[in-house]
Amino acid sequence: MKICILSLLETAEPQFRKCDNLSDPTQCVPRHRHEFVNRKITGSNAKSEIDEVCRENFDVFMNCMGVDRDGIEAAKYLESKGVTILTNVSGLLTTNGLDLSQKKNDSDVKVPGNTYGKYPKMVKYFDKCGSLGLDWSAVCSDDEAVGKRITLLQEENPTLAISVQDYVFGDDCAAVVIDLGTNVVALVPLQFVFPDSTSADIRFLTRDDKTAYSTARKIQHILVEGELQERLQQTAVNAFTFIKSSSEGAWAYVTMRVERNTQDIYVIDVNCNPILYGREEHRFDGDFLVEETFPGGREAFLDTLLTVKRSQLGSNKNRIHQTAAVYDSWSDTYDEFWESTNMSKMLQFTADNFDFSGSVLDLACGTGVFGRILHDRGAMTTEIVGVEISAGMLCAPDIKKYYKKPLWNCSMQEYIMEDVQFDHIVCFGALLFLDAVELNTVLARMFMMARRSLTIEVENLDNKVISKMQEDVGDLFFMNNHVQMVERFGVPNGWKLVHKQHGALYPSPASEGNVEGYIVRFERLI
């Protein structure tokens, strides 16, 4: 896709240039995947320059014009042009911790109060851009120190609102949330671990900790697990959902504190303009969290945002309907064909040699072959949920016998946006129908939705097979060889590759040989 990255060349509020959010996705997204073009807009001439840029042939825009007055006004004008925008809308870019603080009684999100006579206090700007001005002196031990701190902040940036809150003694945590269209989900949260010698009143991330490698403290991070992970994720989702209200959201960086004595979680900030694909390497910013916690890293994250946008625009409907129609026409003879292939034997081997106890999600379940295999081999499966694009396939006897009702008659791209989890997820004979953007999205979401294992099949298609299939059933019957893409995706943090079985899958429709491929299984580290 051809993606335009818009940034401001000048601004009326220079303090925000200290945290210029100009993005450069080419550092982590190969140039053959997407074409990125940077365009700088002049604040004083923004409308005419945006008009000119919109006349160019861009598929989508990324707004990196900042959160000052000029940037917000330029963003609003860009939105009025009716173009496809990947990043957060202007209504979200103007939000900050002040929105939560003022409305905390209307939500189930805890925000630090400003209790009379209780010290220390945290005094800082309501964050809109990279913890501007946040340092150790933000923690004030008495009323005199609070007053001096407020005066200093007002002198440095008189237009910014100032927050005075009770300092929460505890652990700094953060999570990225992403709006999938129908649901908001949170990635695995991180907890920041400070050196043992760090006193309790400075155990928080300053701006230098995030941006200045030469002077930064030696802070480590750990992935939060168990019950606390779930609570942090739910808190992050609640905070973002509350702030975004009915606005169309993309993603945000949610900062939280876990109080030491009570384990209560307080939301410190919801940053809807975090650094993504920044030119400069920062620690513990949006780039860092996405790379650490999103399966497939920043490349897959971008593709997920694109897939959500496509779904909202309905741009892939025709292709999905064509694929469904083809499989409807094959539904009566599909089992007979399947049983004659080596693919059937590979699935039997998978069921015999790996654990599938608990719940199983069968993406693109077809006629329910794998459900029957699990049943015949005595797998301790409690339920099998089937997702299938073809209504005809879902009428098969094995589906009725072994799969939980209701069945999901929809595309993989649609279902993986659900906020659900399963012990095991399998996907056989279907990834080839996705394009590269959708593949990265589906892989990322499958890893996020699977508690214990993910098993997929990847076909090594040659061009003759692809051409023959499209000749037989139409050009909209999209097929692709994703061997290199799956290899590039890699093994996400917290997972391990436990099995990879190569072999012939089924007879080639274009030659006397076979279509080759492999089944691969990943398991979550315990």
Task: Please report where in the chains the tokens 């925008």 appear, as a residue.
Answer: 85
For residue 512, the model assigns a pLDDT of: 80
For residue 157, the model assigns a pLDDT of: 85
Query: How many residues are there in the chain?
Result: 526
342 exposure class (CB count in 10 Å sphere: 0-12, 13-18, 19+): middle
- Comparison of pLDDT for 272 and 23, the residue scoring more: 272
User: Where is mean pLDDT largest: 269-273, 376-380, 441-445, 480-484?
Assistant: 441-445
Over range 222-237, report the average pLDDT: 94
0.85 exceeded by pTM = yes
What is the rounded average pLDDT for all residues in the chain?
Answer: 88
Asked if pLDDT for residue 194 goes beyond 60, the answer is yes
User: What number of other Cβ atoms are within 10 A of residue 284's Cβ?
Assistant: 22
The enclosing H or E element of 297 equals: helix 297-313
pLDDT confidence bin for 206, thresholds 50/70/90: confident
Determine the Cα–Cα distance for residues 354 and 379; give it in Å rounded to an integer: 9
Alpha-carbon radius of gyration of the chain: 25
* pLDDT one-digit tens code per residue, 129-160: 557 778 999 999 999 999 999 999 999 888 88
3-state secondary structure of 42: coil
Asked if pLDDT for residue 339 goes beyond 60, the answer is yes
Q: What percent of the chain has pLDDT over 70?
A: 91
User: What number of other Cβ atoms are within 10 A of residue 26's Cβ?
Assistant: 14
Ordered domains of the chain (ranges, CATH): 2-93 (3.40.50), 97-307 (3.30.470.20), 314-524 (3.40.50.150)
- Comparison of pLDDT for 450 and 275, the residue scoring more: 450
pLDDT confidence bin for 476, thresholds 50/70/90: low
pLDDT confidence bin for 376, thresholds 50/70/90: very high
C-alpha dihedral, 208 to 266 to 451 to 398, nearest 10°? -130
Asked if pLDDT for residue 336 goes beyond 50, the answer is yes
CA 189 distance to own-chain centroid? 13
Lookup: tokens for 345 = 């034997």
DSSP 85: B
Asked if pLDDT for residue 21 goes beyond 50, the answer is no
User: Per DSSP, what are the bridge partners of residue 506?
Assistant: 515
Over range 97-111, report the average pLDDT: 69
- Comparison of pLDDT for 473 and 124, the residue scoring more: 124
Positions of E strands within 381-449? 381-387, 422-427
pLDDT confidence bin for 246, thresholds 50/70/90: low
Asked if pLDDT for residue 13 goes beyond 60, the answer is no
Distances (CA, A) of 422 to 360, 448, 470: 6, 10, 34
Poorest-pLDDT segment among 16-25, 225-234, 362-371: 16-25
Over range 457-476, report the average pLDDT: 84
- Comparison of pLDDT for 459 and 182, the residue scoring more: 459
For residue 20, the model assigns a pLDDT of: 46
CB 162 within 8 A of CB 150: yes
For residue 280, the model assigns a pLDDT of: 61
C-alpha dihedral, 289 to 294 to 299 to 303, nearest 10°? -120
Asked if pLDDT for residue 11 goes beyond 60, the answer is no
Asked if pLDDT for residue 348 goes beyond 60, the answer is yes
For residue 490, the model assigns a pLDDT of: 95
Lookup: tokens for 103 = 């409305």
- Comparison of pLDDT for 241 and 66, the residue scoring more: 241
For residue 19, the model assigns a pLDDT of: 44
For residue 287, the model assigns a pLDDT of: 81
For residue 209, the model assigns a pLDDT of: 81
10 exposure class (CB count in 10 Å sphere: 0-12, 13-18, 19+): middle
Determine the Cα–Cα distance for residues 210 and 189; give it in Å rounded to an integer: 17
For residue 18, the model assigns a pLDDT of: 44
The enclosing H or E element of 289 equals: helix 286-293
Prior bond to 406 cis, omega within 30? yes
* pLDDT one-digit tens code per residue, 252-309: 899 999 999 999 999 998 888 777 777 666 667 778 889 889 999 999 999 999 999 9
Residues 6+ apart with CB under 8 A from 358: 380, 381, 382, 422, 423, 424, 451, 452
Asked if pLDDT for residue 66 goes beyond 50, the answer is yes
Determine the Cα–Cα distance for residues 19 and 501; give it in Å rounded to an integer: 48
Poorest-pLDDT segment among 282-291, 342-351, 491-500: 282-291
For residue 160, the model assigns a pLDDT of: 82
Q: What percent of the chain has pLDDT over 90?
A: 60
What are the DSSP calls for 462-508, one per residue? -HHHHHHHHHHH-TTS-----HHHHHHH---TTEEEEEEEEEEEEE-
Over range 494-513, report the average pLDDT: 90
Distances (CA, A) of 340 to 130, 325, 333, 419, 468: 59, 23, 12, 37, 21
Determine the Cα–Cα distance for residues 183 and 173; give it in Å rounded to an integer: 22
Determine the Cα–Cα distance for residues 66 and 11; give it in Å rounded to an integer: 9
